Chain A
Amino acid sequence: MHRWLKPKATFALLRNRNFLKNYGQRRATITRGLNTSPITINQPSFQVIEEESVHQGEHYVQVPKRGLVELAGKDTMKFLQGLITNDITSINTGVNVFYTAFLNSMGRVLFDTFIYQKNGVPEPVVLVECDLRIIPEFTNHLKKYLLRSKVVINDVSSEYKIWNIWGNKNLSDTSGLNSTLFKGGYVDQRCSGMGLRILIPANMKPNLTSKFTELPSEEYAIRRILHGVPEGIDDFVPEKALPLQSNFDYMGGIDFRKGCYIGQELTFRTYHTGVTRRRILPVQLYPFSATNAPTKLSVDRNIQVVTPVPYSDIHPYGQSGRVAGNIGVCSHNIALALIKLDKVDVDDLVVYAEGKKHIYRVKPFIPSWWPKDENEQKQK
C-alpha cells in the first residue's frame, strides 16, 4: 500500500484526483494512441509505407501464436472493465475492437490482448485475443475474479484465425471482407502502419482481390520487429514487464482517465510522476567483428544466426554485470529488446546466444512513430 492511500490521506487524494485528471487530459494531447476509434471500411487509412521490399505492395499474413477466449453474459463488460487497462465503455461509442493489457495487482503486465466485440444484443459477447501459449493462465486469471459475475468463459482458439492485411491500395479493395467479419475490418491501432487486423472463422481465408498476396506467417514477426511493435510473452515477460516500459501508452493500450482496475495504482503514478527509463524497441544484431554499426534497421533473410533466447541479457561488452536490457522476439538479424533509453547510442552493446558460444553486437533504433517529446526527453 502506498502512503497516499492510507485511509487518513484519502481526503488529500480525492482533491488531488481532479488535478491529475486535468493533467491527464493535457498529457493526452501530446500522447498518441488514446483514440481507438474504428475505421469505416472505405477509408484509405491503412496506407503503409514499407521500407522492407518483401513487405511492399498488398499483402496479408496469418498472425501466429495467438489464441482467443470468448466471454459471454450480461456482466461481461463490467467484469472486464475491472481487469483491463483500457476503457471498455468505448465499445458503446462505436469501437468494435481495442488493444489493452491485463495487469496483476502489482502493476505488472500479465497478458497483452485485443478485445473484439462479437455481439451486443441481447447479452454482450466478446472475444479476447491473447498469446496462445498462456491461454490456460489467462482463463484461470479470469476465473479467479469471476465470483458471481454472470460471465461464461470459453477457449475458442481453434475456431478463429487472426489475419494482418496491409497495402497501399484503397481499402475498398478489401470490401469482400465484410461478409466474413463481425463488423468490418479494423486498423491495428498500436502504431500507424501495421494495417488491418481481422478475425475470421478458422476454415476461411480473407476474401480479398487478387492484388493481395499471402506471405508466410513468419513475415508477421519480421514486420512487427521492423515497426517496433511488441506482442506476446516473448516481448512482455509475464509478471515482470511494466506497462509503460512495454509501450502500452504509446500503443494506445491504456486509458489514463478511466476508474479503478487491477494494477492501476503503479501505472498511473509512474505515468504522472515517474520517468520511463527503459522501453521496448527494435534492435539489429550484427557481427562482433564488424567495424561499423548499421545505420538503418533492415532484415537480412540470408542471415541464419543462432538467435539469442528471449529474455537474454544485453550489456556493454565486458561488463556482463551491467545489464542494459533484455532481448525479446528475434528473427534473422533483427529483434525487439527492452533497452535502457540512455544506452540507445552506446556502440558496445552485446548479446550472447547458446551460452557464450555466439556473440553479437546490438544496435537499437527508435521507431519513427514514437512521440517526439519522449525522444527529446531521451536526448537530455
Chain B
Amino acid sequence: MGIKTPLINSFWLTRSFATTVVNNPPKDGQGNEMKIEITDRAVKQLLSLMARDKHDNEALRITVDSGGCHGFQYFYDLTPVNALKEDDVLFENNGAKVVIDSLSLGLIKGSKIDYTEELIGSQFKVVDNPQAATGCG
C-alpha cells in the first residue's frame, strides 16, 4: 500500500506554508522558527486596501504592547514596506504583507492574522494566539 497523505493533512500543510517569511527568519529561545499565518480573508482585505489606496508596497504592522485588562494589547497600523526597521520580520501570503517586530512576534507566534466582519464593525484581528490565556474584545 502506497503512502498517501490524508486529505486533512495536506490541507493543513498547505495552510501552514501559505505564509512565508520574506526577511529575517526569526528563532525563539528554543531555536524554533517563529511563524504566523495570514488567513485568506486577511489577504483579500489587505490587497483590496492596497488597490483602493493605490499603494502596492504597504504592509500591515502588528505591535503588542502592555495594557488593557489582560496585560497585553494588539495595535494595528499600515506601514510602507521600504521603511522596515532592523528587528522587523516581514511575512507574505499571496502578495499581502504583514510586519511584526521580533519582540511582539515572541508574544503572538503561532497565531493567525484574520479579518473579521461583524455587526459592530470589521477589523484585522490576531486569533488563536497560543500564548494568550484569556482575552476580550
Contact = CB atoms under 8 A, between A and B. Distances in A.
A42 to B, nearest CB: 40
A265 B71 contact: no
Interface stretch (A22-30, A141-149, A225-233): A141-149
Interface residues of B, number: 20
Interface string A259-301: 0111111000000000000000000000000000000000000
Contacts, number: 53
20 contacts: A1-B136, A2-B136, A8-B119, A8-B120, A10-B120, A82-B66, A105-B70, A105-B133, A105-B134, A145-B72, A146-B66, A147-B66, A147-B103, A148-B103, A149-B66, A260-B69, A261-B69, A262-B71, A265-B69, A265-B136
Interface in B79-108: 103-104
B77 interface: no
A369 interface: no
A7 B118 contact: yes
A265 B69 CA distance: 7
Given A5-B136, A149-B66, 19 more contacts: A7-B137, A8-B118, A10-B120, A11-B120, A79-B66, A82-B67, A82-B71, A83-B66, A106-B134, A144-B71, A145-B71, A147-B65, A147-B66, A148-B103, A262-B68, A262-B69, A262-B71, A264-B69, A265-B136
B135 interface: yes
B9 to A, nearest CB: 31
Residue of B67, B116, B133, B135 ringed by the most chain A CB atoms within 10 A: B67
Interface residues of A, number: 24
Interface in A99-133: 105-106
Residue of B64, B103, B137 ringed by the most chain A CB atoms within 10 A: B137
Contacts of B70: 105, 262
Contacts of A147: 64-66, 103-104
Interface of A: 1-2, 5, 7-8, 10-11, 79, 82-83, 105-106, 144-149, 260-265
